[in-house]
Amino acid sequence: MSSSGLHRCRLFLMAVLIIVQGVCICKARQIPERHKNGSQQNHEDQIQMDSSSSTSSYHHVDLAAHVFFLDKDLKFGNRIPVYFTIKDPSRRPPLLPREEADSIPFSSSKLPHLIDLLSISQHSPQAEAMKSTLSHCEFEPLKTETKFCATSLESMLDSARDLFGSGTPFEILTTNHLANKTSSILQNYTIVEEPKVIVAPKMLACHTLPYPYAVFYCHCQKSDNNLYRLMLVGDDGDRTDAIAICHMDTSEWDPNHVAFKVLKTVPGQSPVCHFFPADNLVWVASAALHNE
Ligand SMILES: *[C@@H]1O[C@H](CO)[C@@H](O)[C@H](O)[C@H]1NC(C)=O
Ligand SMILES: *[C@@H]1O[C@H](CO)[C@@H](O)[C@H](O)[C@H]1NC(C)=O
Ligand SMILES: *[C@@H]1O[C@H](CO)[C@@H](O)[C@H](O)[C@H]1NC(C)=O
């Protein structure tokens, strides 16, 4: 595969997503937090919050954990310390068209072949990241859980349609850094407008996973979550139209979840919220957006 082939479709993502209309009737599925042991859960958060780094140093996990906040902080005028994982668009893994993605095996058993095919050096952090992403995608979902990995936009859409059924239009929400910021720092962000609540009992969240081309890990969230749209301005002027979620019931979460360390709280004590980084996609039924 040529690198121009790899890079060809990178920039189409947002344009295509904005016009995408689909159907989404996502039954409230439970993400069984309690079945995940500490390392699994933290692994997921780390992938979710810091998918740009192919290594997983403690430092990164630590900074990337600064996306959590408490729902009582959701107030106009409040300041919240946030580390948004921002990727320079030119360094984002390319989004492949489906024919190209489908022509490449996506399986742990093919890893040695893949490393060779994609010209990755063995035992490199990139190779380790591929291994970890593949095993994450192959992790069998529990019966009560819905998740899938998508290697192209088309397959993500198809899976979303299959999952949600037909009839209800959906929209995709993303965090946008309006001042075109290209690097990440931990800084305070001020909430400069009244936060908007999006009551979305039906939603699908898709996070990027580290891989040489774009791979999305999507999971269907259980229903007791509130979505928010917030206008934020960072101390460095990073004006951000941010999407955040509050998990209202954390009583079954692992007590070792990094969110509890950052927020100095314990499972069940209060809702836990976090921002979505800019490359995450949150799918909700359009009705939710018109019910604010
Ligand atoms: C916890 O998760 C890790 C990584 O997913 C796994 O290796 C380990 O066996 C699990 N431990 C238990 C007790 O489930
Ligand atoms: C950000 O980039 C977009 C597209 O290149 C451009 O239209 C917009 O004016 C930029 N915004 C700022 C604040 O520089
Ligand atoms: C955020 O603001 C608080 C209070 O103004 C300050 O103590 C803290 O150091 C700031 N954090 C960052 C990351 O700038």
DSSP states along the chain: --HHHHHTTTTHHHHHHHH--EE---------GGGS-HHHHHHHHHHHH-TT-SS--HHHHHHHTTTEEEGGG--TT-EEEEE-----GGGSPPPBPHHHHHTS---GGGHHHHHHHTTPPTTSHHHHHHHHHHHHHHSPPPTT--EEEESBHHHHHHHHHHHH-SSSEEEEE--EETT---S--EEEEEE-SPPEEE--SSEEEEEEE-SSS-EEEEEEPPSSEEEEEEEEEETT--EEEEEEEEES--TTS-TT-HHHHHHT--TTTS-EEEEPPTT-EEEEEHHHHTT-
Cα-to-centroid distance, 28 and ligand 1 (Å)? 27
Q: Is it the case that residue 139 has pLDDT exceeding 90?
A: no
How many distinct structural domains can be found in the chain?
1
Query: Does the beta carbon of 265 lie inside 6 Å of ligand 3?
Result: no
Average pLDDT over residues 136-140: 87
pLDDT at 142: 63
Mean pLDDT, to the nearest integer, of 257-267? 90
Cβ of 180 less than 6 Å from ligand 2: yes
User: How far does residue 139's CA lie from ligand 1's centre (Å)?
Assistant: 12
Report the separation in Å between the CA atom of 53 and the middle of ligand 1, taken as the mean of its atom positions: 22
The confidence score (pLDDT) of residue 61 equals: 47
**Interval between CA 188 and ligand 3 midpoint (Å):** 6
Q: Note the pLDDT tens digit of each residue in 89-104.
A: 778 889 999 999 999 9
Q: Is the CB of 119 under 6 A from ligand 1?
A: no
Q: Does ligand 3 have an atom closer than 6 angstroms to the CB of 187? A: yes
Q: Which pLDDT score is estimated for 189? A: 97
Among 14, 18, 180, 233, say which to mutate for ligand 2: greatest number of ligand atoms within 8 Å of CB. Answer: 180
Q: Can you give the residue range of the structural domain that contains 107?
A: 3-289
186 lines ligand 3 (CB under 6 A): yes
Q: pTM to 2 decimals?
A: 0.73
The Å distance, Cα 77 to ligand 3 centre, comes to: 14
* Tens digit of each residue's pLDDT (9 = 90 or more) over 164-206: 777 778 889 999 999 888 888 999 999 999 999 987 767 889 9
Q: Tell me, what's the pLDDT at 128?
A: 93
Q: Residue 89's pLDDT is what?
A: 74
